[in-house]
Amino acid sequence: MNATGQHPFALPFPIADDSLVMGGVPISLLAERVGQTPFYAYDRRLVCERVAFLRSALPADIHLHFAVKSNPMPAVVQHLAGLVDGFDVASAGELKTVLDTAMASEKISFAGPGKTERELRQAVAAGIVVNAESEREILLLAEIGTGMGFRPKVAVRVNPDFELKSSGMKMGGGSKQFGIDAEVVPALLARIGDLNLDFYGFHIFSGSQNLRAESIMEAQEKTFDLARRMAAFAPGPVRLLNLGGGFGIPYFPGEQPLDLVRVGGHLSSLMPAARGDFPEAEFVIELGRYIVGEAGVYVCRVIDRKISRGQVFLVADGGLHHHLAASGNFGQVIRKNYPVLVGNRVIGEAAGAASVVGPLCTPLDILADKMDLGHARVGDLIVVLQSGAYGFTASPRDFLGHPQPVEILV
Ligand SMILES: *Cc1c(COP(=O)(O)O)cnc(C)c1O
Ligand 1: atom nearest CA of 248 is 7
6 pLDDT exceeds 60? no
Return the sign of the alpha-carbon dihedral for residues 67, 69, 75, 76: negative
Q: Is the peptide bond before 38 cis (omega within 30 degrees of 0)?
A: yes
Q: CA–CA separation, 136 vs 115, rounded Å?
A: 10
Is residue 383 within 8 Å of residue 20, measured between CB atoms? yes
165 pLDDT exceeds 90? no
Is residue 207 within 8 Å of residue 232, measured between CB atoms? no
254-259 LR contacts (CB < 8 Å, sep 24+): 255/211, 256/211, 257/211, 258/210, 258/211, 258/212, 258/213, 258/216, 258/290, 259/213
Pocket of ligand 1 (CB under 6 A): 67, 69-70, 88, 111, 205, 208-209, 245, 286-290, 389
Distance 126 CA to ligand 1 centre (A): 22
Overall average pLDDT of the 217-230 stretch: 97
pTM listed for this prediction: 0.96
Q: Angle 253-256-259 (CA atoms, 0-180°, nearest 5)?
A: 165
Q: 336 — phi, psi (to 5°)?
A: -130, 155
Q: Per residue, what are the HEC states of 61-83? A: CEEEEEEHHHCCCHHHHHHHHCC
Is residue 372 within 8 Å of residue 1, measured between CB atoms? yes
Distance 15 CA to ligand 1 centre (A): 32
pLDDT digits (tens, 9 = 90+) for 74-91: 999 999 999 999 999 999
* Residue 399 confidence (pLDDT): 97
Overall average pLDDT of the 37-58 stretch: 98
Distance 66 CA to ligand 1 centre (A): 9
Q: CA–CA separation, 205 vs 214, rounded Å?
A: 16
**172 — pLDDT class (breaks 50, 70, 90):** confident
- How many residues comprise the chain? 410
**7 — pLDDT class (breaks 50, 70, 90):** low
* Residue 173 confidence (pLDDT): 75
pLDDT digits (tens, 9 = 90+) for 395-404: 999 999 999 9
**3 — pLDDT class (breaks 50, 70, 90):** very low
Ligand 1: atom nearest CA of 168 is 7
**4 — pLDDT class (breaks 50, 70, 90):** very low
* Residue 2 confidence (pLDDT): 44
**164 — pLDDT class (breaks 50, 70, 90):** confident
End-to-end CA distance of the chain: 27
5 pLDDT exceeds 80? no
Q: CA–CA separation, 301 vs 310, rounded Å?
A: 22
* Residue 350 confidence (pLDDT): 86
Overall average pLDDT of the 162-178 stretch: 78
* pLDDT more than 90, % of the chain: 91
Average pLDDT, the chain: 95
Q: What residue's CA is closest to ligand 1, atom 6?
A: 288
Strands (E), 44-138: 62-67, 86-89, 108-110, 129-132
Listed residue (211, 218, 214) closest to 246, CA to CA: 211
* pLDDT more than 70, % of the chain: 97
Distance 195 CA to ligand 1 centre (A): 29
55 pLDDT exceeds 90? yes
Domains of the chain: 15-42+294-409 (2.40.37.10), 104-287 (3.20.20.10)
pLDDT digits (tens, 9 = 90+) for 267-288: 999 999 999 999 999 999 999 9
